[in-house]
Amino acid sequence: MTYFGVININVDERTIGSVDVWRCAVCKKQFCEEKQLGIEEIAEVVGMPRIDSDAKWAVCVCKLQQSRYKWKLVKLKENGSIQHECLEEKVISLNSKNFKIEDEQHWSFLIEDNVNKAVEI
């Protein structure tokens, strides 16, 4: 496993977090780790999280949130859905099509298209 790169997540040109991207030297699969500045909670998954072969790493951005919970690392399928904790800790289902979230209040971008870049959310 080797370090592959990083994506900085910015709001008003200020970095609020990042996604570290690692790659297996043998199989070339990518693995990601979310780092949100100011959040000291223990991660849900210890070690490198697994991803299904039919899914891609992405960042889900919530237009409704104005706090540090505005974005989250997710696993998107070409045509599927994910569970998202939105305002007031309400869990909603977001549909994806062509590896993009389809919702007026949420959007996404793929990790593979943005390695070693800063993305303004």
Which string of b and e fits 84-111 if b means at least 16 CB within 10 Å?
A: beeeeeeeeebebeebebebeebbbbeb
Q: What is the largest CA-CA distance in the chain?
A: 43
Q: Region 51-67: what's the mean pLDDT?
A: 89
Number of compact structural domains in the chain: 1
DSSP symbol at 42: P
Per-residue pLDDT tens digits for 63-118: 887 766 689 999 999 999 999 888 777 899 999 999 999 999 999 999 999 999 99
pTM of the model: 0.88
Tell me the per-residue pLDDT of 8-53, one tens digit each, with 9 for 90 and over: 999 989 999 999 999 999 999 999 999 888 766 655 666 678 899 9
Domain holding 110, by residue range, is 2-120
Predicted confidence at residue 25, as pLDDT, reads 92
